[in-house]
């Protein structure tokens, strides 16, 4: 666990097309009629370059190309799940892009490092970049740095303040109050809370969050992975899984949430059809997106997930960790040039300043010197939350071991929520997978 501030992944393209495109990343220098052009290929999971973080990535790249006339940066754009699958194909074909977005979780980062697909970076180069304490550690393996993080993410409850005010309801601070709000909103044909359920990772995150609430602290998950206990032996893990099932069965989430993708869940909330949205702080840019209704934007608020009173005040103990990172392909013919661009991208006045002042995300670099007084209320809410956190989870339980362990956790939680297995059987499956999926 880390203290913060002061303690502080149905591909539609064929494999042959993907390999063909990525092969171009190896032909990284092309001759023009006047000079030799350096071409850097960069793969990201933000396909929209007209708004949000995708636009910021594009703007920084264009600024760099303007200052470095012989460099051309070409983006490969995919949504989140396609990007995950493409990384696997790139690795299996040994055709990684020059720069690529990955996740800092061990199940995603360590295989890339061990496979020789992530170049070591010199930590000294970033001593003055004001990364949040622990952020670079999350992007490291055996004390060596293998990428730079974009965001610091905490999961929280985003909510539409107008809906709560219109119905004279205060935002629930306890899970018992949340159940009462759930029952009321359902009676009024308002979805209590939306969540992306199709890919299963959000349910895993929520289950981890619930274990913090039932256990009264962050210690349960670390104790399991330190070999002190197992999930199936812990009553608080069983209670958390039972609570997740109860919320689902009582329609706390939108109907059909298990088949709802990220965009579908978000659209329901944006349309004012839901009171709450369980999401991470990388989405604080929703409050500044002009393509979203103004009434929604001005009423977006954020707060902690409700607590279980009997277990103590865990409101400031959250699920949170370093978010996506950018790594360099060590076999790239333009490796050094790619590293230079990464250094430029992460200069505090570039990534941290612009991502914050544009209201896009909570960067993994200190943004306190870039506040303007014109922040959205949602930005202020997230700032206040992060500044007073007691603890964060670091990586969630499903991502602490191998990709196979991660997939086992995701598959099992889907079985749990469709009623094929019990909460106790869920944890037994997780424990069995953990035994055979250790990371060296």
How far apart CA 330 and CA 96 sit, in angstroms, is 9
**How many angstroms separate the Cα of 209 from the Cα of each of 190, 283, 429?**
24, 18, 19
Q: What contacts 24+ positions apart, CB below 8 Å, involve 216-221? A: 216/311, 216/312, 216/314, 217/312, 217/314, 217/317, 217/391, 218/1, 218/317, 218/391, 218/392, 218/393, 221/393, 221/396, 221/397, 221/400
The CATH homologous superfamily of the domain defined by 153-320+394-436 = Periplasmic binding protein-like II (3.40.190.10)
In angstroms, the CA 103 to CA 119 distance is: 15
- Tens digit of each residue's pLDDT (9 = 90 or more) over 382-431: 999 999 999 999 899 999 999 999 999 999 999 999 999 999 999 999 99
> What pLDDT shows up at residue 11?
33
Residues of the chain with pLDDT under 70: 1-35, 440
CATH 3.40.190.10 domain locations along the chain: 15-151+323-366, 153-320+394-436
Three-state secondary structure call for residue 68: coil
Q: ∠ CA 193-194-198 to the nearest 5 degrees? A: 140
pLDDT given at position 435: 96
Identify the pLDDT of residue 35: 61
Q: Which two tokens stand for residue 187?
A: 């009676």
Q: Can you name the CATH fold of 15-151+323-366? A: D-Maltodextrin-Binding Protein; domain 2 (3.40.190)
Instruction: State the pLDDT at residue 149.
Output: 96
Residue 226: helix, strand or coil by DSSP?
coil
CB atoms within 10 A of CB 14: 9
Q: What angle do CA 336, 337, 343 make, to 5 degrees?
A: 90
What is the reported pLDDT for 14? 35
Q: What is the pLDDT of residue 438?
A: 87
pLDDT computed for residue 439 by the predictor: 78
Backbone angles phi, psi at 62, to 5 degrees: -65, -40
């Amino acid at each position: 666990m880390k203290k913060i501030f002061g303690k502080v992944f149905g591909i539609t393209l064929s494999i042959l097309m993907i390999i063909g495109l990525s092969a171009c990343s190896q032909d990284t220098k092309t001759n023009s009629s006047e000079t030799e052009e350096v071409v850097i290929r960069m793969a990201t999971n933000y396909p929209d370059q007209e708004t949000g973080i995708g636009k910021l990535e594009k703007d920084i790249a264009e600024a760099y190309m303007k200052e470095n006339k012989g460099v051309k940066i070409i983006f490969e754009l995919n949504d989140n799940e396609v990007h995950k699958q493409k990384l696997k194909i790139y690795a299996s074909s040994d055709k990684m892009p020059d720069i690529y977005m990955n996740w800092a979780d061990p199940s995603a980062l360590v295989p890339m490092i061990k496979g020789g697909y992530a170049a070591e970076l010199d930590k000294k180069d970033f001593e003055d970049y004001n990364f949040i304490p622990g952020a670079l550690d999350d992007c490291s393996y055996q004390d060596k740095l293998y990428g730079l993080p974009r965001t610091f993410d905490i999961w929280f409850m985003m909510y539409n303040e107008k809906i709560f005010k219109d119905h004279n309801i205060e935002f629930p601070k306890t899970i018992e109050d949340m159940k009462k709000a759930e029952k009321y909103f359902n009676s009024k044909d308002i979805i209590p809370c939306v969540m992306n359920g199709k890919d299963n990772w959000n349910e895993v995150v929520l289950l981890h969050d619930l274990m913090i609430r039932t256990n009264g602290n962050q210690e349960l998950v670390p104790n399991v992975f330190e070999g002190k206990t197992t999930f199936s032996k812990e009553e608080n893990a069983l209670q958390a899984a039972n609570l997740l099932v109860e919320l689902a069965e009582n329609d706390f989430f939108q109907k059909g949430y298990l088949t709802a993708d990220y965009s579908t869940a978000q659209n329901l909330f944006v349309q004012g059809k839901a009171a709450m949205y369980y999401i991470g702080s990388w989405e604080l840019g929703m409050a500044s997106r002009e393509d979203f209704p103004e009434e929604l934007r001005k009423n977006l608020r954020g707060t902690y997930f409700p607590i279980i009173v009997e277990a103590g005040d865990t409101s400031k103990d959250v699920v949170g960790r370093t978010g996506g990172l950018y790594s360099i392909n060590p076999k790239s013919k333009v490796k050094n040039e790619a590293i230079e661009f990464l250094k430029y991208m992460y200069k505090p006045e570039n990534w941290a300043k612009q991502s914050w002042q544009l209201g896009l995300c909570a960067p993994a670099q200190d943004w306190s010197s870039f506040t303007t007084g014109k922040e959205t209320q949602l930005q202020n809410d997230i700032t206040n939350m992060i500044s007073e956190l007691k603890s964060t989870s670091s990586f969630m339980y499903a991502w602490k071991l191998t990709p196979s362990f991660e997939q086992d956790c995701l598959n099992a939680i889907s079985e749990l929520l469709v009623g094929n297995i019990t909460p106790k059987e869920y944890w037994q499956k997780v424990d069995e997978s953990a035994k055979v999926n250790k990371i060296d």
